[in-house]
Amino acid sequence: MKNIFALLLLIGWATLTSEAQNSPNVIIILVDDLGYEDVGFNGCLDIQTPNIDTIAAEGVTFTNAYVSYAVCGPSRAGLITGRYQDRFGFGRNPLFAPNDANMGLPLSEETLAEALKKANYKSVALGKWHLGAHESLRPLKRGFDDFYGFLTGGHHYFPEYWTLQDEYEVKSQFDAYKTKLLRNDMRIEEDAYLTDAISREAVSYIKEYKDRPFFMYLAYNAPHGPLQATDHYLKRFEHIKDKKRKTYAAMVSAVDDGVGQILNTLDALGIADNTMIYFLSDNGGPEKVNASDNGPLRGGKGEVFEGGIRVPFAMRWPNKINGGLVYEAPVISLDIFATAIAQSATPIQTKNTIDGVNLIPYLTGNDKGVPHGFLFWRKFDANQHAIRQSNGAKMVSLNDKSMLFDLTTDLSEAHAEIDPHGPDSETIEAQYNSWDNSMMDPVFMGLQEDKAYSAKHPDRFERKK
């Protein structure tokens, strides 16, 4: 009997070892509110991002890369599920509501961590969560083995501002920026600058997980406001005279340092070649708010023009992707989920039908087509939507007024055909209507509704017994 038990253990260990050798590690580095032209691989001149640029130089740069929404919460919900977030009613930014089990990612949805767990991956979420503050919606309940970070949509960067012991001391939405950080389910003391602390934890977990396939969801809140940086990073940008832009640049540089630490750790451990690492922003830069730069793109965060939804996006996986590749067909953040699960040594059956596409056959040239014929965006409350066709045609509808652009010749969306009519516009609108009919209305309240509700229920943040 003992021999049989030992044999089973040996078989189990051999299986895990085989998977560790064959299934790639997956690291998603997601930054917050980064401008399209604020990385070197997209042409930035005043902010140096050598480590981020290494991902692009040794992998692939996506020149027509999008996220599924123009603000952070819904965009993150799409990325982590591989599905358009409107399929499950996540059409608004979730509020900080620790007593509301419906304010966040519905339990009907499967996260990438939950999917990869089926193939014996270890998973950690670091930094910004913003997918629900209720105890049932937190990372450890959504497939992650570990968590270090905060639950709300933003946070102060300096520890002296972290004065609230837990979520039930929060009395307004932005109070949550002052909560102490969480390690798993415990509030902790931390004395490091937030971006540096998140980078430190990323390195630590890579070392801890190195002997089996792992998934790291590394969600920096930088360079999202408040604009706060240490002298260590500010001193690098004496050439930038605009104070806001200088602080923003310092915050981006702190992230770049962290990326460098991660790349060096992967190299030192000998696991870089079989690690699939992504870098992207959750939406476009809010230029007037944080001095980001979206370059030639029209608009910014919150808009369905290119400046709100087209993002810097690079990927590296030395075992499969040749360095220096530039991929120009449209891709979307939803594809990360599909690409990751398709590479597992153990086949993964997803809980739900996903909208993302496995990009590897397109990057290797085995598939000569394009990943997506059409991509879609919807701002339900603003009555706005957009449709991007793979050939460069893009329809933008604002309050039922339609504009048709050709992005191949008009990347800045400066020259619109107003209220277009014809075969192309009819095809695009028909595609959108078909997609829209399969979406849901938002399932939780927005900020304005919350303000009205809070005025009538001043105790809404208190712990419910």
Q: Catalytic amino acids?
A: 72, 130
What is the rounded CA–CA span in Å between residue 403 and residue 413? 9
Under DSSP, the state recorded for 324 is: T
H or E, element range at 203 = helix 194-209
Joined together, the tokens standing for residue 380 give 């339900």
**273, 319 contact by CB (below 8 A):** yes
> 308 CB contacts (<8 Å, ≥6 apart)?
70, 283, 284, 299, 300, 301, 302
Please report, for residues 259, 414, 427, the alpha-carbon distance to residue 265 in angstroms, rounded to integers and kept in the order given.
10, 45, 49
**335, 359 contact by CB (below 8 A):** yes
Angle at CA of residue 335, ends 310 and 370, nearest 5°:
80
Nearest to 341 by CA among 68, 60, 56, 143: 143
What is the rounded CA–CA span in Å between residue 194 and residue 156? 8
Q: Where are the beta strands (DSSP E) in 98-181?
A: 122-128, 146-150
**34, 289 contact by CB (below 8 A):** no
**385, 436 contact by CB (below 8 A):** yes
Please report, for residues 68, 84, 131, 250, 308, the alpha-carbon distance to residue 72 in angstroms, rounded to integers and kept in the order given.
10, 14, 10, 21, 11
Nearest to 320 by CA among 336, 339, 335, 347: 339
DSSP string, 100-138: -TTSBS-TTSPPHHHHHHTTT-EEEEEEE--SB-SGGGS
Q: What count of Cα atoms within 13 Å lies in the side-chain half-sphere of residue 161?
A: 14
State CA 151 to chain mean position distance. 15
H or E, element range at 264 = helix 243-269
